[in-house]
Amino acid sequence: MKKIAIFDPAMCCATGVCGPSIDPELLRVATVINSLQQKGIDISRHGLSTDPMAFITNQVINDLLQKEGAEILPVTLVDGQVAKTGAYPTNQEFSEWSGIEL
């Protein structure tokens, strides 16, 4: 089974679904992650404003941020390798990486 890690840009809260208007994309991603976690998939999400140490201690993310800046976020790693930058994975990508049909 693959390990999936998503590194979010700075947001107001851990999920990014707070505030006056909810971004439907963030809600979709949060829902998919929750569903995959309930099915036993190793998937994690790290926010720049809520979990900065994850960005510092992950050498792939740290190097990417040094080269590209925070504009590259969100970044998705699959088994420690960059799988997607600048946008959240689609449901199809989540399905391919996890082996779970969404």
18-58 per-position pLDDT tens digit: 666 778 899 899 999 999 999 999 999 999 999 999 999 99
**Is the pTM for the entire model greater than 0.85?**
yes
pLDDT of 100 reads: 93
In this prediction, residue 62 carries a pLDDT of 97
Mean pLDDT over all residues of the chain?
Answer: 92
Range of the domain at 16: 3-98
- Cβ–Cβ under 8 Å, residues 63 and 52: no
The yes-or-no verdict on residue 1 having pLDDT over 70 is yes
Tokens of 75: 């970044």
Three-state SS across the chain? CCEEEEEECCCCCCCCCCCCCCCHHHHHHHHHHHHHHHCCCEEEEEECCCCHHHHHHCHHHHHHHHHHCHHHCCEEEECCEEEEECCCCCHHHHHHHHCCCC
Q: Residue 28: which CATH number? A: 3.40.30.10
Average the pLDDT over 57-75 and give the result: 97
